[in-house]
Structures are given as structure tokens and as C-alpha cells.
Structure 1
Amino acid sequence: MFDAKTLLTVGQNSIMRKVVQRSDTAASYSKDLNRFLSTTAVIDMAIRASMETIDKYLPDNFISIGFDIKFTHTAATSLGMTVTVKASIVAIEGHEIDLHIDVWDEQGEIGYGTHKRSIVSKQHLYDHADRRTRFLANQRIEESKQG
């Protein structure tokens, strides 16, 4: 593993902007919310901005994975408005990266939060997922034998 501080710095950030479309609304939760940006859409943008802040600076065989997010959605944003998300690195400890998330639209702040990501080897991630999948497949085989 490498020292993440040689590739990333506190204060490094990415900004994403998006005009709110119908697919970004909370309509799937309630027809009364079909005009408003959903919290899940904002969190999706926050994760994407966080990955953009980190992943393009990593060696090809590494990736960041999220393991914690806390977000407060403070104001409604309507269809057609532009939402902006800024993800900024606030701490680097070993392979863990802490980011602060700021979100606003044309009227001002609409949310804020924190996101934690860990830098891992892609191969380690794939191997771990494969072991978990094989375990599940073996459990199902055993259950079918007993049933």
C-alpha cells in the first residue's frame, strides 16, 4: 500500500452541478413530492463528487469505496433549478479519507454532511466479494440438500 498523503491533500475538492430533472425528484416516494429534488439524488451527487475528488489521483489498481455518510437536507429545490455539490477532503488518515459535503442551489444552502471513503486494492475488493458470493452459493446448496 502507498501513503495516500503523497497523492491527495486536505482541501482538495470537486464540484458537480446539475439541473434538477423529473428523475431527480422524490416522486417515487410520494406524488406530493414530484416537484422537489430528493435527498437520495443529492446523496448520489455527493458520492460522485467525493469519488471525483479522490479516484482520479489513485494508481490504476486502486479505488475508493464509501463506508459512512451523514447528510442533512435543509431546504427544498424545485424542478429546473441548478444544484451544486462540493466535496472537500478534510482529513487523510492512512487509507481513510474524510470529506465535507456542501450543497446549494440558486437560493443558497440546501444541505451539508460528511462522507468517509477508504482506498483499497481493486483486486482485494473483487476477491473479498467473490469469497462472500461463493459462501452464499454454498449455503444455498446446503439448504437445498436439507430441504
Structure 2
Amino acid sequence: MIKELKTGIIGVAKTIVNEQNTAKAMKSGTLDVFATPCMCALMEEASCSCINAYLDEGCGTVGISLNITHDRPSAIGDEIVATATLIKIEGRKLTFEVQAKDDDKIIGKGTHERFIINNEKFMAKLNK
């Protein structure tokens, strides 16, 4: 299922705030600032990038929980960098510490859990 997966590994994902990922565009607010749903997605992307190389072929992960705070606004043009650090492995459940920054200032942080799955078996459940 997994190859040599260990705590402490780190994944990164980046984006630039633009008109498409603002709170106004995502309908999660009315302002042209980086949207919380987009920050969440970036944190999940960082978590996936952290572990994808360790997964056996045919396996993947699905998000099962996300507990974050969005602490500061970010303007159009700002670069957002999300990092995810694998902090706990419980069988197939993985826990990450996640954070997002712009200009080295933390804009959001929290924890994220993912579960390792067999992609084919998981998708087969949709057809039942």
C-alpha cells in the first residue's frame, strides 16, 4: 500500500491570487481577496504532493477532515505558498499539519487528514 512512508516529510503547493480565486469569485464572500475555499484546496494539494511518491500504483488518498483558520487576507497578485507536514500515520489514516503564507506571513493554519485508498475499489463503490 505504501513505501517507506514516515512522519516529517513535507509537501508544497503554490498559487498567485487572481480574479478567479477570490472570495468574490468563489461566492464565499464579497471581496477581491484570496478565498478560504481556495486556501483549503491549496493545503490539500500540498498534502497530496507530500505523499504521492510513496503510494503504490493504483492507490490514492481522499481527504476526510480539514480543520483550519484563515487569519489574514491576501490581495490579488500575492503569491500563496502552502506547506503540509506529515505528523501522524495510523494505518491508512494520515494526519498533516498545514499552513499557508504570503510574503512569509502565515495567513492560515491547521490540520488535515487523508485516508489511503485503492482507487479502483473506491470508484467501484459509486456504482453500487
Q: TM-score, normalised by structure 2?
A: 0.92
* TM-superposition CA deviations, 1:84-110 (whole Å, max 9, x none): 100110000100000010111015110
- Return the index of the structure with the highest Cα Rg: 1
Shift of the 80–11 alpha-carbon distance from structure 1 to 2, 3 Å rule, reads: same
**Are residue 17 (structure 1) and residue 4 (structure 2) matched?**
no
Shift of the 21–121 alpha-carbon distance from structure 1 to 2, 3 Å rule, reads: same
Structure with the larger helix share: 1
List alignment gaps of at least 5 residues for structure 2. none
Shift of the 129–49 alpha-carbon distance from structure 1 to 2, 3 Å rule, reads: same
* TM-superposition CA deviations, 1:72-94 (whole Å, max 9, x none): 00000000011110011000010
* TM-superposition CA deviations, 1:112-138 (whole Å, max 9, x none): 01110000111210111111xxxxxxx
Q: Name the aligned partner's letter for residue 8 of structure 2.
A: G
Deviation at 1:30, TM superposition (A): 7.0
Aligned residues: CA RMSD: 1.6
Structure with the larger strand share: 2
Count of aligned positions = 127
Q: Classify the secondary structure of the residue corresponding to 2:56.
A: coil
Q: CA–CA distance in 1 between the matches of 2:74 and 2:20?
A: 13
Shift of the 70–109 alpha-carbon distance from structure 1 to 2, 3 Å rule, reads: same
Counterpart among 43, 46, 51 of residue 48 in structure 2: 51
* TM-superposition CA deviations, 1:37-96 (whole Å, max 9, x none): 000110010111111111232111110111111110000000001111001100001000
Counterpart among 117, 121, 131 of residue 118 in structure 2: 121
Q: RCO (CA 8 Å, sep 6+): is it higher in 1 or 2?
A: 2
**Are residue 33 (structure 1) and residue 31 (structure 2) matched?**
yes
Q: CA–CA distance in 2 between the matches of 1:107 and 1:92?
A: 28
Query: Percent identity among equivalent residues?
Result: 23
